[in-house]
């Protein structure tokens, strides 16, 4: 298993480590529920060094990305981030990722940990195929570390370690700054449903950054957070996870990523997606909550009137809402809120109902969600 | 750190405890070590009263945020009582696995099975082994 530069620190903190996409990662330090609450009410620090960073540079960087990304990057400004998907010819999702525009000829693509190698191969072969000779694709995952600082106290904590004013930094925007003397790229973004930042810095300095942040945030209640709480936080906020809600045979139209597709521009997968839009998709991802006692888990089957109609992709008990929720694929006719369905839990059918996503929305969210990402 | 395993009961390899009530009935639950491994327990599925189980068959289910685990019956018999409080307060197992976090009571039909279970010292030796 690969280790992040923070591995020894996790062990020293007493974290429980698991294999996640080939990386030894902390699943929890003190407990998933406690860590979840810490992030929602104060702040949490996450080791995200396992995620992939791919540099795309050169005069044709934009052309290549515009060809492979579902999202139209034309109006992206320098410093802006765009959430996007890479789609194959059939319109299936190869990965969901964020595209940072650092300069007109320089982008950084941030990938899921387990997808990084295939994303890299995909970009390289599309480069060859499309004759985008004037672009350089570099895997920077090993040189770059990434920390996520999330929660209502995130800005106050980070502000104590940088001279740059963080207030003007908008949602889904990034800027370079020194944090605790470490040259970093900081974006206001994340995967928890809270305000917060994703911080990128050289691997050799990421340990310093981790220590300084934990220290600076200790009075404000900052805690290290494992992947267990990262999963409950993202699910509660209605966010999807590659490998659960998405794979190469799932189209963005079937999940909640229809808005990431721009069919006005040419990209790989466009024709298939146009067809799909015309015909309509047969299955769709919905959010649900349990009506009766029980916790639905990934892989459990969904029934209506005793007939199997779909499958749960993610499901657990989420601590802030204090209930069992999940995401599931069901036929498009069963997606209206309040639609009842049964989830088969250990040979027993337990009632659930469709609810609108996200399950959880923080109160001040409009401040950031006014900005179209 | 786990709490000390009480010496007034027997233990299974799957981390259940069982206490002989002296009238062919037993109380059972999971050990403190087990709750510590499972972490935050958020759901308990209790058996129906009258359910008959053989030794080491699943008798209940405990779920944490991340995992679903069977609780195996350390002895064969019939469920005569369940700890209904766990339906609303599953965290009692985390807080007091050997006491208030008990799961069910059973009437044994093979009381001799108790002899095959571990005592506290034997169970502790097994945990030490597991940790290595």
CA distance A87 to A95: 7
- Among B39, B65, B87, select the one facing A317 at the smallest CB separation: B65
CA distances from B52 to B21, B73, B105, B110, B113 (A): 19, 10, 12, 12, 15
- Which residue out of A32, A300, A347 would a mutagenesis test of the B interface target, given it has the greatest number of B Cβ atoms within 10 Å? A32
A134 and A69 within one domain: yes
CA distance A299 to A316: 12
State which residue of chain B sits closest to A228, comparing Cα positions: B66
Instruction: Tell me if A255 is assigned to some domain.
Output: no
Number of domains in chain A: 3
CATH number for the domain that contains residue A61: 3.30.70.1400
Provide residues of B within 8 Å CB-CB of chain A.
39-40, 42-43, 45, 61, 63-66, 68, 87
Higher per-residue confidence, A352 vs B1: A352
Domain ranges across chain B: 10-131
A216 and A135 within one domain: no
CA distance A351 to A283: 20
**Residue B51 C-alpha, separation from nearest chain A C-alpha, in angstroms:** 16
- Among A32, A294, A346, select the one facing B65 at the smallest CB separation: A32
A165 and A115 within one domain: no
* Residue B2: pLDDT over 80: no
CATH number for the domain that contains residue A12: 3.30.1360.120
Structural domain boundaries enclosing A118: 53-139
Instruction: Tell me if A35 is assigned to some domain.
Output: yes
- Among B39, B40, B63, select the one facing A295 at the smallest CB separation: B63
CATH, range B10-131: 2.40.50.100
What is the reported pLDDT for A281?
94
Q: Inter-chain contact A316–B43, Cβ cutoff 8 Å? A: no
Omega within 30 of 0 (cis) for the link into A210: no
Contacts of A27 in chain B (CB under 8 A): 66
The DSSP letter of residue B113 is G
Residue B3 confidence class, pLDDT cut points 50, 70, 90: confident
Centroid of chain to Cα B51: 16
CA distance A364 to A249: 36
Q: How many Cβ atoms sit within 10 Å of the Cβ of residue A177?
A: 19
Average confidence score pLDDT of chain B: 95
Final residue before a domain boundary, out of A120, A139, A158:
A139
- Among B40, B61, B65, select the one facing A346 at the smallest CB separation: B61
A28 touches chain B (CB under 8 A): yes
- Which residue out of B39, B58, B91 would a mutagenesis test of the A interface target, given it has the greatest number of A Cβ atoms within 10 Å? B39
Q: What angle is formed at CA B129 by the lines to CA B123 and CA B131, rounded to 5 degrees?
A: 105
* Residue B19: pLDDT over 70: yes
Contacts of B63 in chain A (CB under 8 A): 295, 317
A185 and A105 within one domain: no
Q: How is A341-370 classified by DSSP, letter by letter? A: EEEEETTEEEEEEEEPSPS---TTTHHHHT
Q: Inter-chain contact A297–B65, Cβ cutoff 8 Å? A: no
**Mind listing the pLDDT tens digit of every residue in chain A (373 residues)?**
999 999 999 999 999 999 998 999 999 999 999 999 999 999 999 999 999 999 999 999 999 999 999 999 999 999 999 999 999 999 999 999 999 999 999 999 999 999 999 999 999 999 999 999 999 999 999 999 999 999 999 999 999 999 999 999 999 999 999 999 999 999 999 999 999 999 999 999 999 999 999 999 999 999 999 999 999 999 999 999 999 999 999 999 999 898 999 999 999 999 999 999 999 999 999 999 999 999 999 999 999 999 999 999 999 999 999 999 999 999 999 999 999 999 999 999 999 999 999 999 998 754 444 344 4
Strand ranges of the sheet holding B16-20, from the earlier edge strand across to the other edge = B10-11, B16-20, B25-30, B104-108, B77-82, B52-53
Contacts of A33 in chain B (CB under 8 A): 40, 42, 65
The DSSP letter of residue A113 is G
- Start-end of H helices in chain A: 7-12, 32-41, 61-68, 116-129, 154-159, 203-217, 227-236, 270-279, 366-369
Instruction: Tell me if A260 is assigned to some domain.
Output: no
- Which residue out of A290, A295, A300, A350 would a mutagenesis test of the B interface target, given it has the greatest number of B Cβ atoms within 10 Å? A295
Instruction: Tell me if A257 is assigned to some domain.
Output: no
A187 and A121 within one domain: no
Q: Inter-chain contact B40–A293, Cβ cutoff 8 Å? A: no
A194 and A116 within one domain: no
Which A residues, 292 through 331, put their C-beta within 8 Å of a C-beta on chain B?
Answer: 293-295, 297, 316-317, 319, 324
Q: Inter-chain contact A32–B61, Cβ cutoff 8 Å? A: no
Residue B130 confidence class, pLDDT cut points 50, 70, 90: confident
A57 and A30 within one domain: no
- Which residue out of B38, B65, B69, B70 would a mutagenesis test of the A interface target, given it has the greatest number of A Cβ atoms within 10 Å? B65
A193 and A166 within one domain: yes
Which A residues, 223 through 282, put their C-beta within 8 Å of a C-beta on chain B?
Answer: 228, 231-232
Across B84-101, average pLDDT: 97
- Among B61, B63, B66, select the one facing A228 at the smallest CB separation: B66
- Among B39, B42, B61, select the one facing A317 at the smallest CB separation: B42
Q: Inter-chain contact B66–A316, Cβ cutoff 8 Å? A: yes
Identify any residues that bridge with B70 across adjacent strands, giving them in sequence order.
B61
Contacts of B41 in chain A (CB under 8 A): none
List strand residue ranges (DSSP E) for B21-93, in order. 25-30, 41-45, 52-53, 58-64, 68-72, 77-82
CATH number for the domain that contains residue A339: 2.40.30.110
Residue tagged 């499309």 (tokens): A130
State which residue of chain A sits closest to B1, comparing Cα positions: A14
Contacts of B61 in chain A (CB under 8 A): 346
Q: Inter-chain contact A294–B40, Cβ cutoff 8 Å? A: no
Q: How is A60-106 classified by DSSP, letter by letter? A: THHHHHHHHBSS--TTPPTTBEEEEEEE-TTS-EEEEEEEEEEETTE
* Residue B131: pLDDT over 80: no
What is the reported pLDDT for A365?
58
State which residue of chain A sits closest to B45, comparing Cα positions: A294
């Amino acid at each position: 298993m690969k280790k992040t530069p923070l591995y020894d620190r996790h062990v020293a903190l007493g974290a429980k480590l698991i294999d996640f996409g080939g990386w030894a990662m902390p699943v929890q330090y003190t407990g998933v529920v406690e860590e979840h609450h810490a992030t929602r009410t104060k702040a949490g620090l996450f080791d995200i060094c396992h995620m992939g960073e791919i540099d795309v540079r050169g005069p044709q960087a934009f052309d290549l990305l515009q060809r492979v990304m579902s999202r139209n990057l034309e109006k992206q400004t320098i410093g802006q981030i765009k959430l996007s998907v890479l789609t194959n010819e059939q319109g299936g999702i190869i990965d969901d990722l964020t595209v940072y525009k650092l300069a007109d000829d320089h982008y950084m693509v941030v990938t899921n940990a387990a997808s990084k190698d295939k994303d890299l191969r995909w970009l390289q072969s599309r480069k060859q195929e499309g004759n985008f000779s004037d672009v350089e694709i570099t895997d920077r995952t090993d040189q770059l570390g990434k920390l996520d600082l999330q929660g209502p106290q995130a800005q106050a904590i980070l502000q104590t370690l940088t001279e740059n004013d963080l207030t003007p930094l908008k949602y889904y925007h990034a800027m370079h700054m020194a944090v605790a003397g470490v040259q970093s790229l900081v974006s206001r973004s994340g995967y928890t449903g809270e305000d917060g930042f994703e911080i990128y810095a050289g691997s050799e300095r990421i340990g310093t950054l981790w220590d300084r942040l934990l220290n600076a945030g200790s009075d404000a209640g900052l805690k290290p957070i494992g992947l267990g709480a990262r999963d409950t936080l993202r699910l509660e906020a209605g966010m999807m996870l590659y490998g659960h809600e998405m794979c190469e045979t799932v189209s963005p139209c079937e999940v909640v990523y229809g808005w990431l597709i721009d069919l006005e521009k040419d990209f790989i997968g466009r024709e298939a997606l146009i067809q799909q839009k015309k015909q309509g998709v047969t299955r769709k991802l919905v959010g649900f909550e349990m009506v009766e006692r029980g916790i639905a888990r990934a892989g459990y089957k969904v029934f209506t009137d005793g007939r199997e109609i779909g499958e749960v992709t993610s499901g657990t008990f989420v601590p802030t809402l204090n209930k069992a929720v999940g995401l599931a694929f069901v036929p498009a006719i069963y997606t209206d809120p309040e639609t009842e369905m049964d989830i088969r839990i250990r040979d027993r059918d337990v009632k659930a109902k469709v609810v609108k996503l996200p399950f959880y929305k923080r109160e001040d969210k409009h401040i950031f969600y006014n900005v179209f990402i | 750190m786990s709490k000390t395993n009480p010496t007034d009961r027997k233990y299974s390899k799957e981390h259940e405890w069982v206490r002989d009530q002296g009238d062919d009935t037993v109380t059972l639950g999971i050990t403190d070590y087990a709750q510590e491994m499972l972490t935050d327990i958020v759901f308990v599925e209790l058996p129906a009263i009258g359910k008959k189980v053989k030794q080491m068959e699943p008798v209940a289910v405990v779920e944490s945020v991340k995992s679903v685990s069977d609780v195996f019956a350390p002895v064969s018999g019939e469920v005569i009582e369940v700890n209904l409080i766990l339906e609303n307060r599953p965290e009692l197992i985390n807080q007091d696995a050997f006491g208030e976090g008990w799961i069910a009571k059973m009437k044994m039909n093979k009381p001799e099975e108790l002899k095959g279970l571990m005592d506290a010292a034997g169970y502790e030796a097994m945990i030490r082994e597991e940790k290595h």
